[in-house]
Amino acid sequence: MSFKKTLVTAGAALSTLPSLALAQNQVNMSPGVTEIGAQIYDLHMLILIICVVIGLLVFGVMFYSIIYHRKSRGVVPSQFHESTKVEIAWTAVPFLILVAMAVPATSTLLEVYDNDEAELDILITGYQWKWRYEYLDTSGETVAFFSNLATPQEAIYNTEDKGEHYLLEVDEPLVIPVDTKVRFLVTANDVIHSWWVPEIAVKRDAIPGFINEAWSKVSEEGIYRGQCTELCGAYHGFMPIVVHAVSRQEFDSWMAAKRDEAVSELAAVGMEMSLEALMSEGEAVYNRQCVACHGAAGEGGVGKAIAGSAVALGDLNTHLDIGIKGVVGTSMQAFGNQLSDSEMAAVITYQRNAFGNNTGDVVQPADVAQHRKG
Amino acid sequence: MGAHHHGPAKGITRWLFTTNHKDIGTMYLWFSFAMFILGGAFAMVIRAELFQPGMQLVEPGFFNQMTTLHGLVMVFGAIMPSFVGLANWLIPMMIGAPDMALPRMNNWSFWILPPGFLMLASTLFMEGGAPAFGWTFYAPLSTTYAPPSVTFFIFAIHVLGMSSIMGSINIIATVMNMRAPGMSYMKLPLFVWTWLITAFLLVAVMPVLAGAVTMMLMDIHFGTSFFSAAGGGDPVLFQHIFWFFGHPEVYIIILPAFGVVSQIIPAFSRKPLFGYASMVYATASIAFLSFIVWAHHMYTVGMPVAGELYFMYATMLIAVPTGVKVFNWISTMWRGALSFETPMLFAIGFLVLFTIGGFTGLMLSIAPADFQYHDTYFVVAHFHYVMVAGAVFSMTAAVYFWLPKWTGRMYNETMGKVHFWVSFVGFNITFFPQHFVGLAGMPRRVPDYALQFADFNMMSSIGAFVYGASQILFLYNVVATIVAGAKVSDEKVWDGAEGLEWTVPTPAPYHTFEVPPKVDAAPAYI
């Protein structure tokens, strides 16, 4: 075991050399901030080093031959071409090396699969193209929210500078407590996605109609970033994951604040909002939820144009229907369970009054609530 | 009767109606080269967009169409037909047969390919665009959420599948029935052996692929729910079926490449292949194992741990026969009298880079580590080391090796060597940094990426342009050889080449072995 440790340490030391020279250009897997992540990293380094050693031996022999057994050196080719003993040896030895690799791989895998006794359960649902997190906790108001890409379209299309966390930033991160076994229940709403955060060593496919389990116990507070890793349509590259690992106290107070928020949201149902308030919130919602498909100026793209569209200029009920229920068989999903009444009211108002759609219609949260009831 | 040879028909009918294995082989080779250029053009679009962070040239949806078509065209249009072309040219000449066993079907299996690919490529111009769900077309992205062109894609896959099945049946029938007297199985050149085994793999798995796309068709148009949980189906079922085809498929691509290298290395080592029998057994073992390891592509779908362990152990086992092959090739070179003409350079390039791809394959087989590698650029690097540096390098080696025999003219050796070195360097600049970005966390199939991946992506794109450009040199060299290469008349062409194909005149006449040849009791290549 100590030999293995030495190898791993040597390899780790080697692998940090280039990364020191090229600060941004990480060249190796990160051991991350979980025990499993560190185990996987060790396993990765062990196998990498075994491969490198075997590779050096094999290529060494080959290059020796290339240099010394050249026709141009006047060598007379030997004609040997068979040896059962040698064949048996190079079948058996690799087999034994594989067995040696399989032992640590098996024990790590069994740990990865040990989903029992989690202290916190979080339901993760993949949507085209965002994540929804729900804290499965029976006490109090349910805390659930969507996590959308926060990088502006202008940065993606190069008219604005790209920030440090370009494409790896969200409007609302997942918050988890450190030193706590958190179980992730992963599923999807539409197509298959995959939830991956390298630093916490969790990657699980999010499959519509099935729930997969994974777990993590993060040991260091910090912000950890990841991405969807299963091709899920046009904006697959634009649904990042950000996890904030915080102390237990911080987590509890965050949770309490989220519960209050949920309660006040319910209270806001009867509230009247001004056109200005609706338009400014509507713009924010639009830029988060709609802009990728419908364009920054409502000109359309994957989705239909909103500027001058029959829906945005026509019957309000049809417009609300599409917003809430989506259009079956297209990428236009049902936003009914993704947006609150006030968000829905705001974005519909915005769509009916922006981009030259000057209908003057004002939709209030109460109208949305009424429409939902049918 | 006398030796009456009738030559090929004149004009276009020679190619449309031909049943001659050499003509059909030639058509397969040119067609696959055209597809290689087309698939390469798609790759250039991909690398140009990924040159810098941010969206510059194409939209994300179109980018996905490019990755999808790049994969499909390269696998089904470039690599597979190129080896079928090679098989057509060489198998009859290697086993002493006058032609393939089923020459008319041979014509048909080639001629349905161009319309199939025309249909696939035409999806680019359809409303909603071409398929954009990756060459692995996972449901439900490829069913419920697919563009309307998916139906054309399904039909195209059926056509390509039929072509492959017919081609394989032909190869099996030819090898089993048309060997010259005395050409027993254990005297078959290794290229023939690898193709015989590949043909069995194809016949076994292409119908599985046809089943998968037919189930998709049913889900899309006829209201079934094979792959939709809402109707009692299972999206993961699609992946099991796809990879039950897909894993043998990768060996379908690489086994004939093994065969080619097993012909070329002995020729330029001037020494028989080391461990002929063990090479045959290793090939057969790899083929067998390829059927029982498919779910290692699916470690993250949430299989039970027992399933994960089984697929991990079974996958690791593949390293054993593959290792045997590499050791045998190197032992063949050991104490030979090596020379380094272009085919040998590509064969050695294959040996080095394929071995690296094999190592990363072994790393990927380790299930817990794969949770970090899966669907990242590490995987992209891995399979390009085996597909490009494996299959394509070996195919290139084959063209340089047999071109003088086919045409009676010698290619330009200097240009060939330049082609090798530019390809080799370009390839590694393209794909080696992809290991790094993958390990650092860059997912595959993304049109844009975080800033920390920028430098390596730019390097990768530059390498890709270099590698792409080097293929123009290849095309030029081949055309220049056919048109005006120095004449060769020596039957052997290469002093170390062994086998029946080197006993016929150079260039190989339109009809060979109308009278079966005499096969030595102990051929020199065993």
Instruction: Give alpha helix (H) positions in B101-189.
Output: 103-111, 113-122, 150-177
- Cα–Cα distance for residue pair A46/B68, rounded to 1 Å: 34
Which residues of chain B fall below pLDDT 70?
A: 1-6
Give the minimum alpha-carbon distance from A277 to chain B in angstroms, rounded to a whole number. Answer: 33
CB of B380 within 8 A of CB of B434?
A: yes
pLDDT of residue A1: 42
Q: Please, where in chain A does CATH 1.10.760.10 lie?
A: 271-373
CB of B337 within 8 A of CB of A76?
A: yes
Of A171, A111, A15, A301, which Cα lies nearest the Cα of B368? A111
Residue-wise pLDDT for A134-181, tens only, equals 999 767 778 889 999 999 989 999 999 999 999 999 999 999 999 999
Determine whether B382 is an active site residue.
no
pLDDT of residue A267: 67
Q: Please, where in chain A does CATH 2.60.40.420 lie?
A: 120-267
Residue A303: pLDDT band by 50, 70, 90 thresholds? confident
Angle between helices B150-177 and B103-111 (to 10 degrees): 160
Instruction: Name the residue type at position B194.
Output: T
Which strands sit side by side in the sheet containing A143-147, from one edge to the other?
A143-147, A130-136, A120-127, A182-188, A212-216
Shortest CA distance from B59: residue in chain A: A234
A137: its two tokens: 């906790």
CATH architecture for the domain at A120-267: Sandwich (2.60)
Shortest CA distance from B64: residue in chain A: A234
pLDDT of residue A16: 47
Of B289, B279, B331, which Cα lies nearest the Cα of B311? B289
Of A371, A324, A344, A238, which Cα lies nearest the Cα of A284? A344
Q: To the nearest 5 percent, what fractions of chain A are helix, strand and coil?
A: 45, 20, 35
**Residue A9 above 60 pLDDT?**
no
Pairing relationship of beta strands A182-188 and A120-127 according to DSSP bridges: parallel
Total length of chain A: 374
pLDDT of residue A7: 53
pLDDT of residue B402: 97
Query: Given B145, B372, B456, which is nearest A233 (Cβ)?
Result: B145
Determine whether B444 is an active site residue.
yes
- Cα–Cα distance for residue pair A349/A352, rounded to 1 Å: 5
CATH superfamily to which B24-502 belongs: Cytochrome c oxidase-like, subunit I domain (1.20.210.10)
Give the minimum alpha-carbon distance from A291 to chain B in angstroms, rounded to a whole number. Answer: 14
Residue-wise pLDDT for A220-267, tens only, equals 999 999 999 999 999 999 999 999 999 999 999 999 898 888 777 766
Instruction: Give alpha helix (H) positions in A135-238.
Output: 153-156
pLDDT of residue A269: 63
pLDDT of residue B5: 59
End-to-end CA distance of chain B: 37
Domain boundaries, chain B: 24-502
Residue B335 three-state SS: coil
**Residue A18 above 50 pLDDT?**
no
- Cα–Cα distance for residue pair B153/B123, rounded to 1 Å: 8
Determine whether B322 is an active site residue.
yes
CB of B394 within 8 A of CB of B343?
A: no
The distance from CA A246 to its chain's CA centroid, rounded to whole angstroms, is 19
Angle between helices B319-333 and B235-269 (to 10 degrees): 10
Backbone Cα Rg of chain B? 23
B403: its two tokens: 């071109």
- Which of B136, B236, B301 to mutate against chain A (most A CBs within 10 Å)? B301
- Which ipTM was obtained for this model? 0.92
Instruction: Name the residue type at position B247.
Output: H
> How buried is residue A36: exposed, middle or buried, by Cβ count under 10 Å (0-12/13-18/19+)?
buried
Residue A307: pLDDT band by 50, 70, 90 thresholds? confident
Q: What percent of chain B has pLDDT over 70?
A: 99
Torsion angles phi and psi, residue A167, rounded to 5:
70, -5
CB of B271 within 8 A of CB of A75?
A: no
Q: Rounded to a whole number, what is the largest CA-CA distance in chain B?
A: 76
A326 vs B313, which has greater pLDDT?
B313
Q: What residues in A contact B337, CB-CB < 8 Å?
A: 69-71, 75-77
pLDDT of residue A17: 44
A224: its two tokens: 């950890």
**How many CB atoms are closer than 10 A to CB B317?**
19
CB of B392 within 8 A of CB of B79?
A: yes
Determine whether B164 is an active site residue.
yes
Question: How would DSSP label each residue in A275-336?
Answer: HHHHHHHHHHHIIIIIHHHH-TTS--SSS---TT-HHHHS-HHHHHHHHHH--TTSS----T
Among candidate residues B21, B22, B297, B374, the one labeled active-site is B297
Residue A329: pLDDT band by 50, 70, 90 thresholds? low
The CATH class of A271-373 is mainly alpha
| Backbone dihedral region for residue A360 (phi beyond 0: left; psi -120 to 50: alpha; all else: beta) | left
Average pLDDT of span A205-229: 96
Write down the mean pLDDT value for chain A.
88
